[in-house]
Each structure stands twice: as structure tokens, then as C-alpha cells.
Amino acid sequence: MVQVVAALLASRAAAFELGVLAEVFGIDRTDDGVPAFDFRVCALDPSRPVPTSSGFAVVASHGLEGAADADLVAVPAGPADGPFPEPFLTVLRDAVERGARVMSVCSGAFMLGAAGLLDGRRCATHWRYADALARRYPLAQVDLDVLYVEDGPVRTSAGTDQIRFDGGAASVPSRDIRLDRIAFSRGRFALEAPGGSGLTLPVQSEIGRVVE
């Protein structure tokens, strides 16, 4: 069961994608039947503001030790060319080794690749970065025609259009927590994946919708 979620905050992280993770996991929606999460933003030094790519800095709530017992370690989008500090990569590798899950949003997949966690696995990233991800990590199986991929404990998404994970035990299908698009309106709309993939999916625009 996913209860503790740690978002890794590296320099020049994308504020929007970090905000998406906070929107999904950091807000108490138990009144709507959504499980409660212990959401932590983890940085190398939580006493120092971390610059984002949007011109402002964020102060993390935890150091990297805050991810040591996380059920899910998430990487928001960030610079595809890094840098990827070794302590972050160690956190990701350790998470997989102890049976936790890791997840990337958009170009956050490059940090998973730097940790060696995409080797031999299918993965997704934003279509603009797909070729670069495949070149940099040739052992990764980059799929341009999907919005998200779950390959064992590693979850990758093509962008902030869709974040999905199984919130129950790995062997027992349980709840899906979906954030299909940032939108506060209700109803349904079609989401077409860019890049010529021709993939069109019906998605819910309600944030944090729980699907049994």
C-alpha cells in the first residue's frame, strides 16, 4: 500500500511538475475516499532553497533521508542534461532494491536512466525528449506511443497529462489514483498525444479522481 510518497527536488526542477505531484499526493482528500498520503519533498540540504526552472526557489521539507522509507519515490521533470547528483541516484536505486516504487514525470525519466533503472525496461517520457532519452540510455526501451509505462517497480510518464499508479499491494489490484490533466472542470474530453503517435484517449478532467 502506498502511504509515504517522496518527491526528489534537484536543482532546476520544473515547478509545474513538482506542483502536480503536490496536488496529487499532498492534499488531504480523504473526504472524497482518496487514501491519505505522507507527502515529502526531499532535497540534498533542506535548509537551503533549491532553484527551480521557473525563476523561484523551493525549500524542501526533508533531506534525502526522508525518502529512505518511502513507498513511492517520484522525480519531477528537470533538465534532460542533468546534473544528476549521485546521492539522488542512490536513493532511487535503494528504493527499488528494498521493494519500493519509483516514478518519473516527463523528463524526470533522465534521472531514472542515470540511476540505471531504465536498463532493459520499457519507459516513456515527453515526446520532445524521447529520441534523446533513447540515445543517452540505449538499454532503455523508449515507447513514444504511450502516455505512461509501468515496468516492475519503475513507472514513467510522457508528461503531466497522465500520472497513474496502483495504490494497493503489487499482487492485488486495488485503487488507481489518476491525475489525467490539470483542470478544475468536470466532464470528459479527448487527449491526443503529440508527436504523431495518433493516440487518443478519453480521460477524466477531475483532479485526483479515484477509480475503483
Catalytic residue among 5, 21, 106, 124: 106
d(CA 86, CA 77): 17
d(CA 97, CA 89): 12
Q: How far is CA 54 from CA 15, 31, 35, 45, 126, in A?
A: 6, 33, 31, 20, 18
d(CA 9, CA 6): 9
Dihedral sign computed on CA atoms, order 58, 83, 18, 64: negative
Structure-block grid coordinates of residue 47? 535548509
Residue 82 in contact with residue 110, Cβ under 8 Å? yes
- Residue 123 among the catalytic residues: no
Catalytic sites, residue numbers: 106
